[in-house]
Structure 1
Amino acid sequence: MTKAKRIRLVVCAAAGAVALSVSASAGTVAAAPEPGGGSTAALGTALEGVHRAGVPGVFAEVRDGGRTWRGASGVADTATGRPVTPGMRQRVGSVTKTFTAAAVLQQAERGRIRLDAPIGDYLPQLVPGERGRKITVRMLLNNTSGIPDYIPYAFPSLQGFPSLPDMSSRSLDENRFRQFSPEELIELGLSAPPAGEPGATPGVYSNTNYLLLGQLLERVTGTSAEAYITRNVIERAGLRETSFPSGPWIEGPHSRMYEAFYGLLAPPRDYSVYNMSWTGTGAALVSTMDDLNRFYAALLDGRIVGRSSLAEMQRTVPVRALDGSPIQYGLGLHRVDTRCGTFWGHDGTVWGAGTISLTRSDGRRQMSVAVNLQRWNVIDASGVPQPHPIDAALSALYDRAMCGDPETRPAPAE
């Protein structure tokens, strides 16, 4: 791995598609028996395992058909010992991208957006010239536009990596209450060296794409993208605890959100109060695990977009995530193949908070998990993040949550 690649991996591992993690530190609370058979103790033990591995707090909801399990383990506040609870609100990061993509597909159904039209047809001043003619709406949605992520340039003090003495958290603190405009962030991404040729695969995951999609929505609807998504996606799905923040604070019960930034911040720093204009329609939503399961159930059942639009969303291409790992990415959806079938959804991370929500292709099994610690992996002398027990604990939790008892959960027919 070159130094340039390591810098990109570390600086961009926020508001993006990366491996998620969780953990906790008080007792484990389970609200219902494990769905689809099995014992409450199995999911609770897996949840507690994430906590024991080192994350302050983790909470989750698992559904199987008509049964629901909710659990939480650990603390929402390391100073007071306030426990996490299953219904807490969370900054869900790039899970927001599925909501934005669904809104774009709705407008495509109405003929106001053509997926294979050049983005320059709609936003010529933002993406002018040859680039605007080559990059299509679909390429923005599936991250094959070749437009790089703006985050390394919006948070410049993080680019000292891998030399920790040269890297600081100054940008994280300077931007805490800064009001960014989508246009200035888009310009940062467009001014950077291209990440690839438009349409080429593997694509490169980029938050710039989804800020452009937010501007596209505003162009064709005549209202703010956040207002359109709220009325036509969030409310259509019947979600009561999901919203774009109106300020740096989260309304309602929530955890503090601790950022370790690969050991640079020790102890991890609380960034639960933060102006989310730095990520907007790409990763700014606040939600609950219950709402996320409701949303993906409605989306995959054809109640947010039509079946033909859903099929477009599920047409995947290979994409490199912000941590460099390969993913199968559709139009705002990840495809995740497991031992018990194919799941669809998204993960997300912002400063101090990580979330993942996946639903099996038959719609019956769902998992949404939140953690209040991010970037716990320590960097070695060569600048490479090292494995941590949290990684294995999370993998065990995800497997249990998605597939249940390994001896009794055959893969469903596709």
Structure 2
Amino acid sequence: MKSALEAVHHAGIPGAFAEVRAAGQVWREASGVADVRTGRPVTPGMRQRVGSITKTFTAAAIMQQVEQGRIRLDAPIGDYLPRLVPGERGRKITVRMLLNNTSGLPDYIRYAFPSLQDMSPKSLDDNRFRRFRPAELIGMGVDAPPAGEPGATPGVYSNTNYLLLGELLEHVTGAPAEEYITRNVIERARLRHTGFPAGPRIRGPHSRMYEALWGLNDPPRDYSVYDMSWTGTGAALVSTMEDLNRFYGKLLGGGIVSRSSLAEMRRTVPVIALDGTTIQYGLGLHKVDIRGCGTFWGHDGTVWGAGTISLTSADGKRQMSVAVNLQRWNQPDSSGKPQHHPIDDALKTLYQRAMCDNGSVHAENASQAPETTP
């Protein structure tokens, strides 16, 4: 395991850190640097912007409200938020379609960061301290050409859906979505280092976060200081690898939503991800089938400069959470297609070792896992 993590660093990631739980043991390790200028090392307990892993937290909060009868999964979103999704689409798109990305609403990011359409990083720098309103971003997605028909599969992954779910939470609870998620999901799971950032800076030990933007930023730029209002309840959370494993263990063990809600969350449909691949997506959960290793549930996430993945086996006996501090390292070829990079192979090997090695975790710093291990 340690050599596999070090290989990710040597392949080109400045810093990587992980926690793996298996066979009653927990392994934490880090390799590389948190700051390429000073050489400050990464450590296993650092906080990280975990991107779209936030969607699982938001989906769990929605399911709690479904259990209380305040939200109906198959009700039109127009019944709740007619001003945000007006007219026929508001009548056709259901809450379930927002959760599983089959609403047909396109992602707003290309409109919030317009220079990306011209292959320029200018928008990333311009928006570093910009404060977006959720309704403003939702409007970009709703007003754009549809990505598909409501309910059609494969669905199209879209952050617009999860900002709408945040607005829905506020509508039915009377509290800001971030406050509700903190009180009823984060605190229920007893996560000590997870939360929505209060401003552009991350509190506590963390790495700088380097964005290559497919070679447009050379060298990669540090975006660790950034106003995360551009992604809100879709991808703004900060967490640690220990907290992520604790969260998914608690969720998949029935400790955050009911068993019936969890069954709904595990009902998957094919969805086209932002990178063009097709994934099996439930209600805020990815399903990952690995030949010879079994089925895993969880999510991955990327924001500018930070990438994270967290997966838990269906039986709850094995967990993996990995963070890296560089994103979009694949430079395009002459046709514009991102080229394969040694980092891709190193990460694949790390994930395979973490999820598929038989028996206990082999590492000199492996210790007995806490009681929360499922």
Bin of the TM-score, shorter chain as denominator length:
over 0.9
Structure 1 CA distance for aligned equivalents of residues 183 and 135 of structure 2: 24
Secondary structure of 2:34's match?
A: coil
Q: 396, 408, 413: which one pairs with 2:349?
A: 396
Amino acid at match of 2:320: M
Q: 164, 172, 183: which one pairs with 1:231?
A: 183
Partner of 2:335: 382
Amino acid at match of 1:108: V
Partner of 1:100: 58
Partner of 1:40: none
Structure 2 CA distance for aligned equivalents of residues 298 and 262 of structure 1: 36
| Alignment map for 1:266-281 (pairs within 5 Å) | 266-281=218-233
Partner of 1:201: 153
Q: 251, 254, 271: which one pairs with 1:302?
A: 254
Partner deviation per Cα, 1:145-165 (whole Å, 9 max, x = no partner): 0000000000001101xxxxx
Structure 1 CA distance for aligned equivalents of residues 120 and 328 of structure 2: 15
Structure 2 CA distance for aligned equivalents of residues 169 and 362 of structure 1: 43
1:337 aligns with 2:289: yes
Q: 111, 116, 130: which one pairs with 1:158?
A: 116
Q: Name stretches of at least 5 consecutive residues in structure 1 with no aligned partner.
A: 1-42, 161-166, 409-414
Amino acid at match of 2:10: R
* Normalised TM-score (structure 2): 0.95
Amino acid at match of 1:227: E
1:353 aligns with 2:306: yes
Q: 150, 166, 170: which one pairs with 2:122?
A: 170
Secondary structure of 1:370's match?
A: strand
Partner of 2:216: 264
Structure 2 CA distance for aligned equivalents of residues 387 and 237 of structure 1: 38
Q: 316, 320, 332: which one pairs with 1:363?
A: 316
| Alignment map for 1:129-140 (pairs within 5 Å) | 129-140=87-98
Q: 75, 78, 87: which one pairs with 1:117?
A: 75
Q: Name stretches of at least 5 consecutive residues in structure 2 with no aligned partner.
A: 362-374
Q: 63, 70, 93: which one pairs with 2:21?
A: 63
Secondary structure of 1:272's match?
A: coil
Partner of 1:180: 132
Amino acid at match of 1:275: D
Partner of 2:240: 288
1:46 aligns with 2:42: no
Q: 324, 345, 355: which one pairs with 2:276?
A: 324
Q: 162, 169, 174: which one pairs with 1:210?
A: 162
Q: 246, 251, 276: which one pairs with 2:198?
A: 246
1:85 aligns with 2:43: yes
Structure 1 CA distance for aligned equivalents of residues 358 and 10 of structure 2: 21
Structure 1 position 388, deviation (Å): 0.3
Partner deviation per Cα, 1:363-406 (whole Å, 9 max, x = no partner): 11000000000000001111110100000100000000011159
1:146 aligns with 2:140: no
Structure 2 CA distance for aligned equivalents of residues 220 and 153 of structure 1: 28
Partner deviation per Cα, 1:190-223 (whole Å, 9 max, x = no partner): 1110000000000000000000000000000000
Structure 2 CA distance for aligned equivalents of residues 405 and 107 of structure 1: 39
Secondary structure of 1:343's match?
A: strand
Amino acid at match of 1:239: L
Amino acid at match of 1:95: I
Secondary structure of 2:162's match?
A: helix
Structure 1 CA distance for aligned equivalents of residues 122 and 294 of structure 2: 44
Paired residues, number? 359
Runs (4+) off by over 6 Å: none
- Assess, with a 3 A threshold, how the Cα gap between structure 1 residues 301 and 405 changes in structure 2: closer, same or farther: closer
* Normalised TM-score (structure 1): 0.86
Structure 1 CA distance for aligned equivalents of residues 149 and 115 of structure 2: 28
Sequence identity percentage: 78
Structure 2 CA distance for aligned equivalents of residues 374 and 174 of structure 1: 19
Amino acid at match of 2:230: W
Structure 2 CA distance for aligned equivalents of residues 347 and 354 of structure 1: 8
Structure 2 CA distance for aligned equivalents of residues 188 and 249 of structure 1: 26
CA RMSD of aligned residues (A): 1.0
